[in-house]
Amino acid sequence: MSDHLYACGQHVTFASSRLLLPGWTGAFVITNLLPSGGGEPRYEIKSTREIYSRVALEKDLSTRLADPKV
């Protein structure tokens, strides 16, 4: 059984904050479930507006309704 809250293909909102720099916010799709890092589930996420994937911690994600413009 997986400890991940989200599943591959699920649409999520990513909101990350940084200490001195503005954080990223946007619509993404889960593309891969990654092993937990430091005890928290991690995900590979992708936006169709970018050419690369990101790695996000579960605490930086929230549920989003399907959006064809992701």
Cβ atoms of 3 and 16 closer than 8 Å: no
Please give the model's pTM, rounded to 2 decimal places. Answer: 0.78
Structural contact between residues 43 and 53, judged by C-beta atoms closer than 8 angstroms: no
Alpha-carbon dihedral sign for residues 63, 65, 68, 69: negative
| pLDDT value, residue 53 | 94
What is the CATH T-level fold of the domain 11-63, as seen in this structure? SH3 type barrels. (2.30.30)
Give 27 or 65, the one with higher predicted confidence: 27
* In the chain, where the domains are located: 11-63
**Mind listing the pLDDT tens digit for each residue in 9-55?**
999 998 876 655 555 678 899 999 998 867 889 999 999 888 999 99
